Structure 1
Amino acid sequence: MISFDNVNKGKLYWILQFFGWCSFFVIFSLITASFAGFQWQVFAGHLNTVVVGFLLTHFYRSYIKRNEWVRLGIFRLALSVLAACFIIASIWALIVLPINRIFFPVENDQELTPLIVVIVVLNLSIITLGWSLIYFLFQVFINFKKSEVEKWKLEAAVKDAELIALKSQVNPHFIFNSLNNIRSLVIENPEKARDMITHLSGLLRYSIQFNNMERVSLEHELEIVQNYLNLESIQFEDRLQYKLEIKPETLDLKIPPMAIQLLVENAIKHGISNLPEGGQINIRSYLENNILNVEVINTGQLVKCNDSTGIGLQNASNRLKLLFGKLSDLKIQNLDSNFVSAKFTIPLNE
């Protein structure tokens, strides 16, 4: 597809103007020669007409651009074009008719009559009108392509803005809770407090480095998930256990940043935190039919919570759709009476 932002419109105009008038010269010279024979006067007369038409339409274009006719309404533009065509045709006829009389001498004392002049002016007006239609249709085509490009740019900007907004909607309560836990552990258990600070700093470093990216490798995403789980494990103590079942071939594949972390956060918030005995989280990744499957399985049951906004899960789903289209999917369901599965898929050919 042509990018009209990068087209040299001046150069394109001269190419079209030159080849257009050359085609006009060849076609009408051949038509006239088929009736009057191949005489040099025929070619000279048409060459005179074409050269004058070339110059007049060029000045006509300059006038159109200077007065910004493309901004006129359709009715006003039509009237302006019709008037301009008549004026240009009159000037055109005034120039070419005397010159062409040199190449086509008057026979039998036949002089130019008003009727002949009117016919010539009308013919030249039609030619000028045809030139005008081609010019303005081409302008409409260019403006249409420009509007399409602007629409694509706007859609891309909206998509980027949506992604940035979604990435920025990370639950701040987790950070506040972690800081409160660290504060309480500073005196009671300084070593555990240091561990929490280490994991929290890793989490924040990841959010700064990778949250501005559309996609990150699964391996990098798992680093933040492990920091998050380590922080939560300190808070839940023995009530939280986790396991990673990651296929090596999936580690370099790209996913939206914070996608797994949001699912793990949801599993802890709505699943394990509600169980007095706690539970476990399993994170799995594997390839199937050229599709990356990522699954977070947690202890608990999927129930509808009236006090839950579901923003985190909606963010994860929206990120997947924005980045990978409708082929990506996020499903949450009860596996059995003890476990819940949150799973998303990403096609590798996208």
Structure 2
Amino acid sequence: MRKLSPYWLCQIGGWSLYGLINVFFYYTISPKTEANFYNTLLLYMAEGFVISHLMRTVIQQYGLLNLPITRQIITLFSLTLVFAFLYSIVDNLMVSQLGLETETVKKYSFGIKVVRIAVGTFFFLCMWNLIYFSYHYIMKSRKDQLDKVRLESLVKELELKTIKAHINPHFIFNALNSIRALVDEDPERARTAITELSNILRSSMYAEKVETTSLERELSIVKDYLALEHIRFEDRLHVEYDIDEDTLDLPVPPMMLQTLVENAIKHGISKQKEGGVIKVMSDFKDNHYELVVQNTGHLNGRSLKDGFGISGTINRLHLMFGDNAFFDIKDKDSNLVEAKVVLPV
């Protein structure tokens, strides 16, 4: 069975309540009985039901709910006034035709009767319109808010996917360059490098499907990557880890730590004639935890935040955690650069 819409439920319920209120006052306050009370009341209710529905049809037909709020208020007043007189004219004609007029009413002219009923009807229809307009205004505001939230969510999702789509090719090209350098020089090591790359690609494919991954899984990608880079740099690359085991299960954006390590190799170790150290640290600090990548080198006043890898990291943190996470990169001392990610627990 098809359910009635909220509008029809309100129409039936509202005019039924109007009838019940009149019956209540008739039996509790009215000083005398009226022979045609119930017939007249039913006529009023039927007319009110039809007139208010016609008013709603006009509102929908001309899109009055889409007008600016100030014009809606003016329209509400004007529409109510027009339909109040329409109701009054129809009511006087129907009452006269059905012989329901009381002796008191009969002595007035038609024009005066129309004005008298129109005044009382205006307030009822004004209340009806006020409820109708208010309901749709609130529902429209809620819908606009929901649409805005959905749009923001979609934009964030698309931005995250765009960032991820750039991260993986950026990483793959760097890794392939490392392998290419080994093919002629040391085929055995090249095969080992291909195995390492295979492990990393498998992990990165998994990263495409999730918004966060465990730090432990992220570290495994980093270790494979550094093992691959160690083949290229040999003794010029030294790696250290200082990881609090309690942080291994914490969620981090996939491929983020690997991106920071990759930047440390590209902008730090590769530019040092003697090579240097990469140190990866993870620890709790107050009500958050920190991921830190330190590398031998210096910024020389440059901001690596302009590069895609770092700017992508900043954007991901903002999209996923808002103001609860941030990124910073700076010279720790004369020959050490520190990239730090602060994430909520």
TM-score (norm 2): 0.84
The structure 2 residue matched to 1:297, chosen from 294, 300, 323, is: 294
What is residue 17 of structure 1 aligned with on the other side? 11
Could you say what secondary structure the match of 2:264 adopts?
helix
Q: Do the aligned residues in 1 keep the contact of 2:261 with 2:293 (CA within 8 Å)?
A: yes
CA pair 337-91 structure 1, distance change in 2 beyond 3 A: same
Q: Does 1:145 align with 2:139?
A: no
What is residue 237 of structure 2 aligned with on the other side? 240
CA distance in 2, matches of 1:259, 1:166: 11
Worse-superposed segment, 227-236 or 20-29? 20-29
What is residue 4 of structure 1 aligned with on the other side? none
Equivalent residue runs for 1:298-313 within 5 Å: 298-305=295-302, 309-313=306-310
Q: CA deviation at 1:166?
A: 1.9
CA pair 234-10 structure 1, distance change in 2 beyond 3 A: farther
Q: Does 1:37 align with 2:31?
A: yes
CA pair 29-145 structure 1, distance change in 2 beyond 3 A: same
Once superposed, what is the RMSD of the aligned Cα atoms?
3.2
CA pair 334-225 structure 1, distance change in 2 beyond 3 A: same
Q: Do the aligned residues in 1 keep the contact of 2:282 with 2:289 (CA within 8 Å)?
A: yes
CA distance in 1, matches of 2:322, 2:7: 41
CA pair 179-312 structure 1, distance change in 2 beyond 3 A: closer
Q: Does 1:61 align with 2:70?
A: no
Cα deviation per residue 1:214-254 (whole Å; 9 max; x = unaligned)?
A: 21111221122112212211111111111222222212211
What is residue 227 of structure 1 aligned with on the other side? 224
Q: Do the aligned residues in 1 keep the contact of 2:239 with 2:279 (CA within 8 Å)?
A: yes
Q: CA deviation at 1:120?
A: 1.0
Cα deviation per residue 1:42-68 (whole Å; 9 max; x = unaligned)?
A: 963445423431243234434543554
Cα deviation per residue 1:104-123 (whole Å; 9 max; x = unaligned)?
A: 7426x953532123211332
Residue type at the aligned position of 1:87: L
Q: Do the aligned residues in 1 keep the contact of 2:168 with 2:204 (CA within 8 Å)?
A: no
CA distance in 2, matches of 1:123, 1:112: 16
How many pairs align?
338
Worse-superposed segment, 176-185 or 310-319? 176-185
Cα deviation per residue 1:274-293 (whole Å; 9 max; x = unaligned)?
A: 21111111111122334121
What is residue 185 of structure 1 aligned with on the other side? 182
CA pair 97-162 structure 1, distance change in 2 beyond 3 A: farther
What is residue 86 of structure 2 aligned with on the other side? 87
Q: Does 1:131 align with 2:128?
A: yes
Residue type at the aligned position of 2:107: E
Worse-superposed segment, 245-254 or 31-40? 31-40
Could you say what secondary structure the match of 2:306 adopts?
coil
What is residue 323 of structure 1 aligned with on the other side? 320
Could you say what secondary structure the match of 1:36 adopts?
coil
Unaligned runs of 5+ in 2: none
Q: Does 1:111 align with 2:110?
A: no
Q: Do the aligned residues in 1 keep the contact of 2:218 with 2:257 (CA within 8 Å)?
A: yes
CA distance in 2, matches of 1:307, 1:220: 26
What is residue 119 of structure 2 aligned with on the other side? 122
Residue type at the aligned position of 1:314: S
What is residue 266 of structure 1 aligned with on the other side? 263
Unaligned runs of 5+ in 1: 1-7
Worse-superposed segment, 270-279 or 200-209? 200-209
Q: Do the aligned residues in 2 keep the contact of 1:56 with 1:92 (CA within 8 Å)?
A: no
Identity in percent: 37
Q: CA deviation at 1:98?
A: 5.8
Could you say what secondary structure the match of 2:277 adopts?
strand
What is residue 336 of structure 1 aligned with on the other side? 333
CA distance in 2, matches of 1:281, 1:273: 12
CA distance in 1, matches of 2:89, 2:102: 22
Cα deviation per residue 1:123-164 (whole Å; 9 max; x = unaligned)?
A: 223422331232122222211111111111111111112212
CA distance in 1, matches of 2:305, 2:48: 75
TM-score (norm 1): 0.83
CA distance in 1, matches of 2:245, 2:166: 30
Q: Do the aligned residues in 1 keep the contact of 2:299 with 2:331 (CA within 8 Å)?
A: yes
Could you say what secondary structure the match of 1:37 adopts?
coil
Residue type at the aligned position of 1:83: V
Residue type at the aligned position of 2:306: T
Could you say what secondary structure the match of 1:169 adopts?
helix
What is residue 155 of structure 1 aligned with on the other side? 152
CA distance in 2, matches of 1:332, 1:214: 23
Could you say what secondary structure the match of 1:225 adopts?
helix
